[in-house]
């Protein structure tokens, strides 16, 4: 049982990871799309992309965004985490769950929220203009995109430093801060929703949006060019993932405080207590309330612009209009299905891998560990594109491309590292002696898993499903290339509708998605699920 499970885990993960990646590599060395009868081996795609000024510009913009995000989010995120974990900040038990909200909100929804809130004709922009005569900011700019991305990433940056090392000594938390910096820098190259919504109107392309626009560059599927761009992104992000993993393995050597006898005393802020609360609240207003208020208001007004009074244009027609679009209704239903049933199946898959690696003393564990981390270097946009090619390339499974299975397998791979981390956290709570006692009585490995391990982690599995549900509902970029009749989900529909300018429908869909995430987030908090696990 144990050997079979471990073999299945290693082979299964290798197939779902190396299969799509291998197809991308193969496609990059062809002169045309792989299904073209005239396709041949060629380096032409590499010559075209690597000498294209548009690619160079997109790379430079991605680099600036990544650096800017890191410089903004790491200090701010560390400050937020420090205030909540190490100080006597008033109301921190209430504030901490709210700081996690940006993690579970779709970036494309947040980007749209900023557009309708503080864009050129946004609600707050026009109200500000009415007060002072002008709008003192420009959302559609490189600086605006970097600032918004950095503020949104601050929570991710602060997730580790002060929790991993419970100390105020900077040298001791430095490895964790560097880990967070590497993560944010990596996320900068994977950004798609924010640059698409905020950068495209200003003519700013990053690598992911450059890849997205290559689809129609030549008037025919330019898959060979897209493959080269995809590999370029992977070549940039994979070393960062590897460095992250190395940092994570060595961070534990810097822990100097531990043991049950250690008393923890929050650091008194004194006169700075309420200014500190103001900093946290200001961050919440800018990163959570501002875009959500923008989305909510845009969904209940018939029109908006200068001279229009809010209470004169209130309506619920946008939500009623959704009924007239069968694909949008399917998108809402499919989102629920992929989050609930698909999320549950993914948790089962993650649990199988977690059980296979649980207390396995072998070099294969390290291989499996890095294999699981590899998809972390693949942006969702690339994973979705790769699986589209998989279904086109392997004819026996081609019919599955128009089903939710194609989305489910792509989502499962994108969130593989995250899902396995959740399961591993639950498995670590099971003390070895409980499983050893079962083996002493003659129970086989399968019986131990069924009667001891799984019952003990059942609440962890439920919590994992709730968190995976939220991540699947918020996901948008993975489904962009898999979007079609039968595979519509809210996230990819919003991206598709953005190109048509259907702001009314986008706002209604955004509110529905936020409501779904909010409901599951409320349930998870009520059940005591640790959102930062």
**Whole-number Å distance between alpha carbons of 506 and 135:** 25
- Where does the pLDDT of residue 496 fall: very low under 50, low under 70, confident under 90, or very high at 90 and above? very high
- Where does the pLDDT of residue 168 fall: very low under 50, low under 70, confident under 90, or very high at 90 and above? very low
- Where does the pLDDT of residue 512 fall: very low under 50, low under 70, confident under 90, or very high at 90 and above? very high
Q: Are residues 210 and 89 in the same domain?
A: yes
CB 199 within 8 A of CB 210: no
313 or 433: whose pLDDT is higher? 313
- Residue 243: phi, psi to the nearest 5? -65, -40
Residue pLDDT, tens place only, 322-331: 999 999 999 9
Average pLDDT, integer, range 412-420: 90
Q: Are residues 263 and 347 in the same domain?
A: no
Per-residue pLDDT at 245? 64
299 or 531: whose pLDDT is higher? 299
Residue positions counted in the chain: 533
Per-residue pLDDT at 256? 44
Average pLDDT, integer, range 83-110: 83
Q: Are residues 368 and 498 in the same domain?
A: yes
Within a domain: 37? no
The domain that holds 254 is classified in CATH as 1.10.3720.10
**Whole-number Å distance between alpha carbons of 203 and 192:** 14
Which range marks the domain in which residue 160 is found?
43-315
Per-residue pLDDT at 533? 54
**Mean pLDDT score of the chain:** 84
- Which region among 125-139, 172-186, 265-279, 512-526 has the lowest average model confidence (pLDDT)? 172-186
Per-residue pLDDT at 476? 92
From 315, 347, 377, give the residue that closes a domain: 315
Per-residue pLDDT at 205? 92
Total domains in the fold of the chain:
2
- Where does the pLDDT of residue 155 fall: very low under 50, low under 70, confident under 90, or very high at 90 and above? low
445 or 101: whose pLDDT is higher? 101
Within a domain: 30? no
From 282, 315, 348, give the residue that closes a domain: 315
Average pLDDT, integer, range 258-271: 66
Q: Are residues 392 and 409 in the same domain?
A: yes
Average pLDDT, integer, range 42-50: 93
61 or 75: whose pLDDT is higher? 61
**Whole-number Å distance between alpha carbons of 375 and 354:** 16
Within a domain: 32? no
- Which region among 98-112, 121-135, 140-154, 169-183 has the lowest average model confidence (pLDDT)? 169-183
- Which region among 117-121, 238-242, 393-397, 480-484 has the lowest average model confidence (pLDDT)? 238-242
Per-residue pLDDT at 169? 47
377 or 321: whose pLDDT is higher? 321
H/E stretch holding 58 reads helix 53-86
Residue in the block written with tokens 């209430």: 94
Average pLDDT, integer, range 480-485: 92
Within a domain: 500? yes
Per-residue pLDDT at 244? 63
- Which region among 11-20, 252-261, 391-400, 511-520 has the lowest average model confidence (pLDDT)? 252-261
Q: Is the pLDDT of residue 57 over 60?
A: yes
- Where does the pLDDT of residue 258 fall: very low under 50, low under 70, confident under 90, or very high at 90 and above? very low
- Where does the pLDDT of residue 443 fall: very low under 50, low under 70, confident under 90, or very high at 90 and above? confident
Q: Is the pLDDT of residue 81 over 90?
A: no
Per-residue pLDDT at 319? 95
Q: Are residues 186 and 196 in the same domain?
A: yes
Q: Are residues 498 and 423 in the same domain?
A: yes
- Where does the pLDDT of residue 470 fall: very low under 50, low under 70, confident under 90, or very high at 90 and above? very high
Per-residue pLDDT at 412? 95
Within a domain: 29? no
Q: Are residues 271 and 281 in the same domain?
A: yes
Q: Are residues 278 and 346 in the same domain?
A: no
The pLDDT > 90 percentage for the chain reads: 45
The pLDDT > 70 percentage for the chain reads: 89
**Closest of 103, 74, 81 to residue 184, by C-alpha:** 74
Within a domain: 153? yes
Within a domain: 125? yes
Residue in the block written with tokens 């050893």: 436
Q: Are residues 283 and 350 in the same domain?
A: no
Q: Is the pLDDT of residue 264 over 50?
A: yes
Per-residue pLDDT at 66? 93
> Residue 256: exposed, middle, or buried by beta-carbon count in 10 A (0-12, 13-18, 19+)?
exposed
From 286, 315, 344, give the residue that closes a domain: 315
Q: Are residues 20 and 146 in the same domain?
A: no
Q: How many CB atoms lie within 10 A of CB 130?
A: 10
DSSP string, 90-155: TTHHHHHHHHTHHHHS-HHHHHHHHHHHHSTT-HHHHHHHHHHSS----SSSHHHHHHHHHHHHHH
Average pLDDT, integer, range 245-270: 58
Per-residue pLDDT at 361? 74
Per-residue pLDDT at 157? 63
- Where does the pLDDT of residue 175 fall: very low under 50, low under 70, confident under 90, or very high at 90 and above? low
**Whole-number Å distance between alpha carbons of 504 and 317:** 9
**Whole-number Å distance between alpha carbons of 262 and 250:** 23
- Which region among 5-14, 249-258, 524-533 has the lowest average model confidence (pLDDT)? 249-258
Residue pLDDT, tens place only, 352-361: 888 888 777 7
Q: Are residues 303 and 338 in the same domain?
A: no
Supply the pTM of this predicted model. 0.88
- Which region among 84-98, 181-195, 241-255 has the lowest average model confidence (pLDDT)? 241-255
Q: Is the pLDDT of residue 167 over 60?
A: no
Within a domain: 413? yes
Q: Are residues 172 and 125 in the same domain?
A: yes
């Amino acid at each position: 049982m144990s050997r079979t499970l471990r073999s299945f885990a290693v082979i299964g993960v290798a197939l779902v990871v190396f299969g799509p990646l291998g197809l991308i590599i193969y496609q990059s060395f062809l002169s045309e799309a792989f299904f073209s009868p005239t396709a041949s081996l060629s380096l032409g795609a590499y010559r075209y992309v690597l000498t294209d000024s548009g690619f160079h510009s997109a790379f430079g913009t991605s680099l600036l965004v990544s650096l800017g995000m890191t410089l903004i989010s790491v200090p701010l995120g560390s400050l937020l985490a420090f205030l909540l974990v190490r100080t006597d900040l008033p109301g921190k038990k209430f504030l901490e769950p709210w700081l996690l909200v940006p993690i579970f909100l779709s970036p494309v929804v947040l980007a749209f929220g900023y557009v309708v809130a503080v864009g050129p004709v946004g609600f707050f922009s026009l109200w500000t203009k009415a007060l002072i005569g002008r709008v003192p900011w420009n959302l559609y700019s490189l600086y605006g995109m970097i600032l918004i991305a950095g503020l949104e990433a601050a929570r991710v940056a602060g997730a580790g430093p002060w929790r991993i090392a419970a100390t105020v000594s900077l040298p001791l938390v430095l490895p964790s801060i560097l880990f967070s910096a590497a993560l944010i820098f990596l996320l900068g190259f994977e950004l798609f929703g924010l640059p698409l919504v905020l950068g495209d109107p200003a003519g700013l392309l990053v690598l992911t949006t450059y890849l997205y626009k290559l689809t129609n560059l030549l008037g025919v599927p330019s898959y060979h060019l897209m493959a080269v761009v995809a590999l370029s992104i992977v070549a940039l992000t994979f070393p960062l993932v590897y460095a992250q993993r190395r940092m994570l393995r060595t961070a534990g050597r810097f822990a100097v405080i531990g043991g049950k006898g250690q008393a923890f005393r929050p650091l008194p802020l004194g006169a700075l207590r309420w200014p500190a609360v103001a900093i946290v609240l200001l961050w919440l207003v800018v990163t959570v309330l501002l875009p959500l208020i923008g989305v909510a208001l845009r969904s209940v007004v018939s029109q908006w612009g200068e001279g229009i009074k809010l209470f004169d244009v209130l309506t619920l027609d946008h939500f009623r209009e959704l009924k007239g679009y069968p694909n949008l209704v399917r998108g809402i239903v499919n989102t629920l299905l992929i989050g609930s049933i698909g999320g549950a199946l993914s948790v089962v898959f993650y649990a199988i891998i977690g059980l296979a690696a649980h207390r396995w003393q072998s070099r294969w564990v390290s291989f499996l560990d890095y294999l699981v981390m590899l998809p972390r270097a693949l942006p969702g946009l690339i994973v979705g594109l790769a699986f589209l090619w998989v279904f086109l390339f392997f004819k026996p499974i081609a019919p599955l491309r128009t089903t939710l299975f194609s989305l489910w397998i792509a989502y499962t791979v994108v969130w593989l590292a995250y899902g396995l981390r959740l399961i591993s956290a639950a498995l670590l709570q099971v003390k070895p002696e409980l499983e050893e006692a079962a083996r002493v009585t003659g129970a086989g490995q399968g019986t131990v898993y069924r009667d001891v391990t799984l019952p003990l982690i059942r609440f962890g599995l439920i919590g994992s499903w709730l968190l995976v549900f939220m991540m699947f509902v918020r996901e948008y970029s993975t489904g962009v290339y898999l979007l079609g009749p039968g595979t519509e989900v809210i996230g990819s529909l919003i991206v598709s509708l953005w190109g048509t300018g259907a702001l009314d429908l986008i706002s209604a869909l955004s509110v529905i998605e936020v409501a779904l995430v909010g409901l599951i987030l409320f349930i998870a908090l009520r059940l005591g699920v640790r959102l930062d696990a």
